[in-house]
Amino acid sequence: MSAAESVGRAYARIGEAGRPEVWIALRPEREALAEARAIDDRTGAGEELPLAGVTLAVKDNIDVAGMETTAACPSFAYRADADAVVIARLREAGAIVVGKTNMDQFATGLVGTRSPYGAVRDARRLEYVSGGSSSGSAVAVALGEVDLALGTDTAGSGRVPAALQGIFGIKPTRGLVPTLGIVPACPTLDCVSVFARSLELGLLATALAGGPHADDLGGRTWPPEVPLGGPPAPLIAVPSLRQLTELSPEAGRRFIEAGSRLEETGADLLEIDLSPFLQAGLLLYNGALVAERYAAVGRFLAEHPDDADPHVGAIIAAAESVLAHQLVSDRERVAELRQAALRSLGEAHALMLPTTTRQPTIAEVERDPIAVNSRLGTYTNFCNLFDMCALAVPAGEADGGQFGVTLFAPAFHDLLLGDIAARLSAAVPIEAAVC
């Protein structure tokens, strides 16, 4: 299929799906088609473009030249003069931006309902949340509207919606993919994330997006001593079901089955204590670390209080009163818990957890917006605090919806996770699109 045909198919699919809440802004189709024809000319002349014709959705806190960036707050909007680094790299590889997707405002939430542009509904069950904050990006991929989508991930926003939509969500090691041109949520923790129905495409796009940039203050380079793949018999740490108290019985069975599938491929399982991971996760929002969110957009929201989603506004406004010694103390506590977590992992190459707890309905979120949102981050919040990479993998169905697991490893072990995810995903067929 030519790039032009791929773009035409994307716009047709968007029209057929009838899900306007997924998108904040679409590029004019003629503009995307002109870019696609130029790519067809380049490949026709023999140029190698690894993402030629791949259609791309972009979370609307990531700059695309000539388009507004809103972070789901209309009064915050500005027109981007240049592509974010990650966008420039993927476009150079042949990807074509279709539009900007809806999100939890200022990337603060895991539900996908905290947006003035409307709640992004699940791809299959419209009364259920899609997961956030990268809600529109995940649903656009799940619906087959685009091949690939970008999100961001601070607390789990590149993994929770992937699990609830039955697709892959890749959260690389912090600093490997530049965050230049992205509205920050927590600058020391933010990561670009990649959504795809195909593991291979997601990993390829992540690799093409990565690499240092001279202006990226948080950028990191790959250490030469880190292995570039996984061992023949990886040791995978898992918790006991007794510690997974938020899972339903059916979801618990799916988690056990995922471990069994890994064992069938030659992996070994090691049961560990999950306590330090869960304790650290609570600090991300319930402690002083939330001060980073105020540093990012707190002044703007203080000047435009009526423009904030009420729950986002309350979370960020409360962080204004955090004292410096509280932040230092909580960072010390995170370091202590990380050390305990690494001891718990022992010789394990990776950790596998359920990606999230269970999928709530939109009505449940409306009744109890803070607690329901918090539960979705139970098994995700610790990841960036502990400087880990992660990869969310579809793992079947539970309780009428999608179920997924996430693989975690220390920083720079991203390729190891790709190997393990390939073992696991080979046994779980992924739908080409939601019909």
Active site residues: 59, 133, 157
The whole-angstrom separation of Cα 241 and Cα 53 is 44
**Cα–Cα nearest to 34, from 65, 68, 3:** 3
190 contacts 176 by C-beta, under 8 angstroms: no
Q: What's the burial of 242, exposed, middle or buried (CB within 10 Å: 0-12/13-18/19+)?
A: exposed
The β-bridge partners of 390 are 171, 408
Strand order in the sheet with 191-196: 23-26, 96-101, 55-59, 148-153, 191-196, 168-171, 388-398, 401-410, 350-354, 235-239, 268-272
